[in-house]
Amino acid sequence: MSKGRLIVFSAPSGCGKGTMLAEILKDEHFRCSVSATTREPRAGEIDGVNYHFFSREYFEQRIQEGAFLEHAEYCENLYGTLLSEVDDGLENGIDVILEIEVQGALKIMEKRPEAIFVFITPPSIAELRRRLKKRGTESDEVIEKRISKAAGEIAQAKKYDYVIVNDALEDAVSDFLAVIRAEKLKAEFSGDLIDEVIKNA
């Protein structure tokens, strides 16, 4: 069985990535790694499902233990990808999606350059502000903080392999699936397949 691919999926918060991921994850070849964070759970979020909610002290202990593939500080909270969430899935042929911000993605570019790096952008900052306000989960002050953070992140999108504009959900999801499909057909990942094709030549 061929190994799964690691997919880094970054989008400023409020970009519609949650809805996009819900669509993508309907296909069981994909799994989303559950990150750890020190931020407080939002209404409806479940420990172990949306995030592993850690205290700062426990998070720092896990860093010392080498439990993370990457971690970063974002809006005064720590977020990190646990190695235990990633490598089992890849070994079992599952494509593992890391829904992480830019600093974490840059670390993965160094550690796992073979990963597929996809950046999701809103059509404009004005549209992002409208979506964040509509979500209503954060105060105006937090929203403005996240918007200025988002602008900085969008400016780094060119470092990724692919940029997808999430204007219409269906189009954005289909762009994402097209990217992954094409990536899987790359010649550099076709070693076993080619050996099989020419086996009895």
Q: Which residues contact ligand 5GP (rule: CB under 6 A)?
A: 13, 35, 39, 70, 72, 74, 79-81, 99-101, 103-104
165 vs 190 by CB, closer to ligand 5GP: 165
At residue 68's C-alpha, the angle toward residues 67 and 74, to 5°, is: 135
Q: Residue 87: CB partners within 8 Å, gap ≥ 6?
A: none
102 vs 180 by CB, closer to ligand 5GP: 102
| Residue closest to ligand 5GP when measured from CB atoms | 104
Measure Cα distances from 196 to 4, 68, 190, 199 in Å: 19, 37, 10, 5
70 vs 95 by CB, closer to ligand 5GP: 70
Q: Are 163 and 123 in contact (CB under 8 A)?
A: no
For the bound state, the minimum distance from the C-beta of residue 66 to ligand 5GP, rounded and expressed in Å, comes to: 15
| Distance, CA of 171 to CA of 176 (rounded, Å) | 9
For the bound state, the minimum distance from the C-beta of residue 171 to ligand 5GP, rounded and expressed in Å, comes to: 21
74 vs 117 by CB, closer to ligand 5GP: 74
